[in-house]
A and B are shown apart, each in its own frame.
Chain A
Amino acid sequence: MSASNARITCDIGGTFTDVVVSDERGRMTIAKALTQPANLFDGLRAALERAAAELAEPLGGLLGRTSLFIFSTTQATNAILEGTTARTAFLCTEGFPDILVRREGGSLRPYDYSRPFPEPYVPRRLTFEIAERIDADGNVARALDEAGAVAQLARARELGAEAVSVCLLWATANPAHELALGALIERELPGLPYSLSHQINPIVREYRRASGTAIDASLKPLMQRHLPEIAAGLIDEGFTGELLAASSAGGVVPMGELIDSPLWSVRSGPSLAPVAARTVATVETGSGDVIVCDTGGTSFDVSLVREGDLVFTSETWLGEPFAGHLTGLSSVDVRSIGAGGGSIAWVDPGGLLRVGPESARADPGPACYGLGGTRPTVTDAALVLGYIDPDRFLGGKMALDVGAAETALAGLAEALGIGSREAAHAVLAIANERMIAAIHELTVNEGVDPRDSTLVAGGGAAGLTIAAIARELGCREVLIPRAAGVLSAFGGQHSDIVREMTAPHVTNSKGFDFAGVRETLAGLRERMHAFEAELPQGLGGEVRRRYFVEARYAYQVWDLSIPLEGDGVEDEAALQRLIESFHDAHERIFAVREPGQKIELSQWKGRVSVETVKPPLAAERGELADGAGGTHGRVAFFPELGEVEIAVHLGGELAAGRSIAGPALLIEPETTIVVYPGWSAHVSELGNYRLELEDA
């Protein structure tokens, strides 16, 4: 094994820690280990050791030849969902203490009076009002009462605050008071981590800014402990390369950036999935519109690549919309719904079959896990249908109890008055439906037509139903990357360093301020240069700077992000083209346009991406002799065919270029792919699977 230059990415999830090692030839080694929440590095080390073992070299050797280590974790997300973040104080403008309590109102269950109102991210007892006021024009309407603020900080200390978040009204228009409070915190509560809203996320709308700021502050103690731990651990083991971390902006940044504002690490792992999908789709189908489905054990994540670009949103809720908490950041749009293999199927009083939202989770897990679960889950249904090989689940790491699954499904079938195979199929169909809805919402909102898009599936449960989903969506083409089981970690392998800066400058289409905009964009450019300059040497590949503007029709309050051509709006002609592209975007997304209406432009954004040295996408399957394949068959059920004997192929045995006609099963260590009747699977040169719907 040549000591070639390696690149390692890891994704520390709630259950598993995934590691992907790739060398200059593009050879990938994938390893998994259980996550150790107490000390994240232990789990990471275990996974790294497995990878090293597979490569038949000592861990030190592997790390020693690793030039780039990219790290992503769901720790932040989990800490928030489990409420294990730091005890955080919230400082707000006097008179407005309930911003975090009321959020932005709304509820998904208008008639449900059995659920208590969700707790605020920071309890009222830790909320402190600061006498001050900035008005909408940035003028100081009421001077900051520093003495009062000091007293409040003292109270915060008494109450045991471990971090402080500050969000004052209109700090975005004039940060003076927030900065002053920052200084006071450093003086009065030395060493206590704090976050200022205008620095975390300078957007208008107090709740979103406050929520993101509170989350950011609450994560600092945790991340400021974990991240250095991991860095240290790696170095101890002999790592000397560059350490980058994934951010929810769909790229990576130097780890220091995340320590400064950990908010960006929230849902950073999932935001790498579309990066992976884009990479694979580009080489396999050349398609620019890609729908990405990442199916885990408990959740189903959808994201989108539109015309080669990741799609962003400012609506990322942690937990249920309205009841959870908004990050408020403009980050990669990953819609997550609780619809994994563990979702429980049940029949409601009206006799309708329902799947989820309740989940058997990992413990007791689906009935077939034999850990005491008795209620039928999506995984049980798949097993009963014969879509899962009980002996090869998770690469054979876990034997499944078919009998238990059968029993669980039988009850359901009885309630529905149909056969248990039919019932099992119904369970999958309905589970799919929630995913289809999620995909529809995302694609439709972006004006992407699923029928012209490529579907890329990842995650453990990826292959089970993706073809069925594709059929409903009208997609004729599905890609399942070789690294489907570790899509995010794989995405890390192919992501660039991405950093977004925003600068407010209000103007409009009727009286466009060319000079002002030129100045604003120049300012952004400088900040980007500064960021580039600080990057470690040797990383720097090609640098791309792109500019966007948040635009809306007069009186609207929700913006559309419109890319600028080149790096500015130089003349009337360019302005007209910009305006046209806004009208087009508005019509594409919302079905109507209003020609002639004034367009307001407020926030200007610069997104700099510095290309990193990426491993080539090469395959090493070529030399493998075409294994007989389909050696052992098994019985599976498809509504159109009934119970049939189908071929089962071990992925590892299939040579590039091989095609398999459905119905059949393809077994990969991390996932099982069901090739439905009417579909066929092709093994690409790069070892990815392409499923195609045969013209029937």
Chain B
Amino acid sequence: MSTPPIAEQPTRGERFDPVALAVITSRIQGIVRRMSNTLFRTARSSVLNTARDFSCCVVTRDHELLAAAESLPIHVMSGPDLVSASLARLHPKLRAGDAYLHNSPYHGNSHAGDHCILVPIVGADGEHHFTAVVKAHMADIGNSQPTTLWASARDVYHEGAVIFPGVKVQQDYEDIPDIIEMCRTRIRVPEVWYADYIGMVGAARIGERELHGLGEELGWETLHEYTAAWFDYSEEMMAGAIRRMPAGRSVAHNKHDPLPAAGAEDGVPVKVIVTVDPGGARVAVDLRENPDCLPCGINLTEATSRTAAMIGVFNSLPIAVPQNAGSFRRLDIEIRENCVAGIPVHPASCSTATTGIADRVANATQRAIAELADGFGMAETGTLTASVADISGKDPRHGDAPFVNLMILGLTCGAGHSRGDGWLVSGEVGDGGLMMRDSTEVDELLYPIIVWADRIVADSGGPGRFRGAPACYVEYGPAGAEIEAMWSTDGYVHAALGARGGYPGAPARQFLRRADGNVEPLPGWGEQTLAPGETVLATSAAGAGYGPPWERELQRVVRDVADGWVSPEQAEQVYGVVVRDGELDAKASERRRAELAGTSVPVPELLDVEQRSREIADRLAPYVLAAEPAR
């Protein structure tokens, strides 16, 4: 393919041989996919080998995101570019055979819980051409508490993570034992960490090998011309998409749940200003009017601030656009230093920078766009509960070997949007539906836990023309040995908000079921030592609805009722759809909908999720409690 004509191609995209453009693109997509598979198959912790909380991508020599495998958007949209840039700054001379460990929130990483492996791709010419970046959420990073997401951390010291600001971990393709030893000493599960580390290095080395091959085959200059052309193409696509959006400036507010420890008794207000300019084919998101950094772990990093806003925009685009530095050129994300949704100032902790405020920002962004015109944007996505928790302890089945891992169950948070219902199996907005839920069986195999229930909660999805995904109820507890569970739940007080008349999703709720059967509420942020016989009951925060519920297609409502996702009561009260013995009463519905549409009728009361959760819990009680002693 590296025929002289191609080599001589000028760099303007439209003149770069379109066939070559397509071919190289698919080759590079193939490379990042192979990187992902490598990690997915070799990783040790379930947060990687099951939940897939990682991402792989390739960054150019100018630190621009070129291609990412289907990865968590919150990981990749911005971040790889920043860590690559900081690496070049800290290590001016990058050599073949180097690998760098990077997790510093102050040097462009998402949060300390994500370890990045960066491998500079150096040609036979000794020049640095690309960087392979693998980022993965570790089971443990040596925090002072056994969690990788710790909203209550006062500062980076209290958080306790070992911070690696682009530290060389391999030279000449060999580990630097000092660094490995440091991790082994300060990470609770050194074996798991090292296995995951090997997986990451493997993935990055695969990317290195294949991209190196491609470069040597096509000629590096050709590849750089290609990237320029590909960026131009992507920018055009982006411009095209924006031109089809409604013009205007829209401001959206929402609130992160209260954090008394950090002095935010009534929550952390988030404000997003979106300006869509179809003429100029640009979208601007301004996050500068948000509060200063707080003395807790929820501050965003530069990477997650930018990305959260970008996600909101991409979720709202009328057509699919490749996500890379080219399309990003059409976005102006405005952030400031020392801001919860901006650039953190050391030693502010960013432990939960990939969730919490990030979700609020992305949600507000997409909702702001929705408010510009019908048919655009999205409602707000729900959030995670104690069903996504860091669990740790000693496993009696393996000689009390210590374990700690991020367990990911009950991901049903999807928001209703302009063209459809909320995606059921979606984590928080930041994962763009790409995060996978754990397999109950795998979790029970890996860790001494038992999952008693993982089921949809009827009526919890935010009603709307397009309904938010319903919450799910998860109940789990230790099997035979004490375990420690830590979680950071947003959406306990402030639920996902609906767009364009859509209703909010049900807020999250969680409880502790004592061995004596008592069921006590648990706080939004918590850590709990669970003795055998005790369980955690967690109902996630559901996605919100888009558009007025009484505009929802009748048949969709009938099906929801039939499937038990919506009760006949809610169907009539909120959707204005009357279903009797499974049969639609068109006339009654007609009337009811007219009422609802008229402003005279007050908005009917929403589901009491607490009540509903307790009902489920009571139904489960007999066999949860009966079974425990048997184990």
Q: When A and B assemble into the complex, do they touch directly, with CB atoms less than 8 Å apart?
A: no
